[in-house]
Amino acid sequence: MPGLTIQNLRFSHPGSSFALQVKDLRVGAGSAFALLGPSGAGKTTLLRLMAGLLKPEIGDVRLDKTSLLSLSEAERRAFRLTQIGMVFQDFALLDYLTVEENILLPHCFHALGKNRAALADHARTLADQLGIERHWQQLAGRLSQGEKQRVAIIRALAHRPRFLFADEPTASLDATRRGQVMELLSRYTREQQATFILVTHDTDLIPLFPDHARVEDFTA
Amino acid sequence: MITAPLHLAWRYVSRHRLQTLLLAGALALVMALPLCLRVLVGAAESAMRQRASDTPQLLGSRGSALDLMLTALYFKRQPLPTVTMAHLHELRDTQLAEAIPLDARFHAQQTPIIGTEIEYFSFRHLRLAQGKMLTRLGDCVIGARVAAQRGLAQGGALFSSQEQVFDMAGVYPLKMRITGVLAANGSADDDAIFVDLKTTWLIEGLAHGHDDVSTRPDAVLKATPDNLIANSSVRMFSEVTDANLGSFHFHGDDSAHQLSAIIVRPKDAKSEALLAGRYQKSSLPVQLIQPIQEYDLLMSTLFQMEKLAYSILAVTLLAAATVSALVFTLSFRIRRREFSTLADIGISPRDLILTKAFEAALVGALSLLFAGLITALVQWNAAQWIRQMLS
């Protein structure tokens, strides 16, 4: 089961009355979980807490057997780079780098034992599946929103993470592409026995996620 | 692991070429200014010092010693009170020194025509690259750069310019035959036209040649035992040729003829001291100067100005560095979201700082490269520019 475990977590932004409180949330390996809610409700904040990008005031986030709070900043960064794949809402791509450079960028900064050539091959295969292969050497700044979103997804999956956190990964895609992406992410979760957390405001996706919750359930 | 931050910095800088080039160019100009100033001052020093130290003494009209030096050594065009041939004779009569007259009052377009005697060429160690030395009245020998710039060679010709445009009844330009071209020696001699002293008198109108009036009785208006007055049908020659050479003649006493300066080469130290004493009196219309002393005086003034210029440039450099720091700070602030993105995808704070530092370093390196190129360009042309400034 391990996967993601959150217990007694509390978080608030300094000087804000808004607070998130998660008493108990578990998402097992090979499972997917959708976090729903309107814009500004705190979905992204909760996702960032799960990924270790934000530190809770109290409580802990455990990914498999690793407690994120017990890790140093550098260890948490290394953990994220090797074990977590993150699709950011704003894609987090650099316009002046090519698609290939954007996908491999995090791994260029860290010698984490990953075979960069194998990683690039895998990323290229994913790019082929998502129709991005022909843009491989193109600057990210010249891509459409939908293409950028697919590049962000490829970057999240390229290193075969055990945890996949996706923030509105289909927001800029048409229905066909949305289907392709969701199929890819679901298949990946099943095949890699990964833990997949999806944040979305798109209620059409609810049928795909029997296991889901509304973010309002976690606000204090 | 500095290659990744360097690569990222390089990608940003190369993607934003125009901004980078503008910033680097502005910084390069500020950095190059003091370097170029030093190069130019150095070139001026080396160009001027050797010539000044090679010239023991100069006799010229009393007035600005600096102007006298600039005219006699670098042929700088400026109105200078003259001395006369009488002063030359007087100097030679002392038998204390060799005296070489210089007349730099005339020009061919912008090029100075230097009237002198043949000793000048050996004194300055000038040798011919082609042709031969002055052989008769109206001949000229040209400097290497004059030949190159105007495409002139032995056998060609040059016209002297009228010094006073509105003097319609004055002396006509003289067509001078080029008998030789001097080898380049990297001094003001490369930019001058040399003629015999008598040729400058011809240019000045103190000598002339015309049809033989004794064979043209129809042209004679009035005849006296000493003089013949002819009408305008008598042709005046504007060029000296083998055929008309004999008709050229000088009027008046040459001791009144003017000179710009006289180069004085004392026979020994005692003669030098005696001459200095002889011309020390302020009541005399002439002065005897030592060019090297005037040069040192000029350089000490220039050195003061150079120091002042460096102080101003140091402040400018500091201001430019501050502006650059501000530009980078604002740029990084504007790109805050980009750096937070990099942090989100796992780039460490240390690598982010390195990336920013490399961006600044790349712009700095480009500025240094540009500054180096500008300085090299100035260095390449410094000697020529200094000569042009002095001429």
pLDDT of B353 = 94
Q: What is the pLDDT of residues B349-376, one digit of tens each?
A: 999 999 999 999 999 999 999 999 999 9
Residue B165: is its pLDDT beyond 70? no
List chain B domain ranges. Answer: 3-48+299-390, 57-209+248-289
Chain A residue whose CA is closest to B337: A92
Max CA distance (Å), chain B: 114
ipTM comes to: 0.83
- Residue B283 per-residue DSSP state: T
Q: What is the pLDDT of residues B227-241, one digit of tens each?
A: 777 777 777 777 788
Residues of B in contact with A86 (CB under 8 A): 344-345
Residue B20, chain A, CB below 8 Å: the answer is: no
Distance of CA B391 to the CA centre of its chain: 3
Question: How far, in Å, are B32, B41, B46, B186 from residue B386 at the CA level?
Answer: 18, 9, 10, 11
How many other CB atoms sit within 10 Å of the CB of residue B74?
A: 24
Residue B251, chain A, CB below 8 Å: the answer is: no
State the pLDDT confidence band at B33, using cuts at 50, 70 and 90. confident
Residues in Cβ contact with B230 at an 8 Å cutoff, skipping those fewer than 6 apart:
B213, B216, B219, B220, B221
| Mean pLDDT across B16-25 | 92
pLDDT of B240 = 82
Q: Do B341 and A101 touch (CB under 8 A)?
A: no
How many other CB atoms sit within 10 Å of the CB of residue B34?
A: 19
In this structure, what is the dihedral angle of CA atoms B3, B9, B10, B14, given to the nearest 10 degrees?
A: 170
Residue A181: is its pLDDT beyond 70? yes
- Residue B216 per-residue DSSP state: -
Question: How far, in Å, are B69, B286, B387 from residue B64 at the CA level?
Answer: 9, 11, 21
Residue B169: is its pLDDT beyond 60? no
Structure tokens at B340: 């937070």
Structure tokens at A42: 């705190």
Residue A99: is its pLDDT beyond 90? yes
Amino acid found at A82: T
Residues in Cβ contact with A80 at an 8 Å cutoff, skipping those fewer than 6 apart:
A51, A52, A53, A86, B346
Q: Which pTM does this prediction carry?
A: 0.66
| Mean pLDDT across A14-43 | 88
User: What DSSP assignment string belongs to A188-201?
Assistant: HHHHHT-EEEEEES
Among the partner-chain residues A74, A139, A155, the one whose CB lies closest to the CB of B348 is A74
Percent of chain B clearing pLDDT 90 (strictly above): 47
β-partners of residue B113 are B106, B193
Structure tokens at B68: 């006298």
Q: What is the pLDDT of residues B294-319, one digit of tens each?
A: 888 888 887 788 888 888 888 888 88
| Mean pLDDT across B77-104 | 90
Q: What's the CA angle centered on B70, arms B66 and B75, to 5 degrees?
A: 160
User: What DSSP assignment string belongs to A135-174?
Assistant: GTTSBGGGS-HHHHHHHHHHHHHTT--SEEEEESTTTT--
pLDDT of B391 = 57
Distance CA B339, CA B346 (A): 11
pLDDT of B1 = 57
Distance CA A182, CA A130 (A): 11
Among the partner-chain residues A80, A96, A105, the one whose CB lies closest to the CB of B15 is A96
Interface of A with B (CB under 8 A): 53, 74, 77, 80-81, 86, 88, 90, 92-94, 96-97, 101, 105-106, 108-111, 139, 155
Q: Do B346 and A108 touch (CB under 8 A)?
A: no
Q: What is the pLDDT of residues B191-245, one digit of tens each?
A: 999 999 999 988 888 877 776 777 777 777 777 777 777 777 777 777 788 877 7
The helix-helix angle for A116-129 and A99-108 (nearest 10°) equals: 140
The kind and range of the H/E element at B367 are helix B349-390
Q: Do B346 and A81 touch (CB under 8 A)?
A: yes
8 A C-beta contact, residue A161 and residue A84: yes
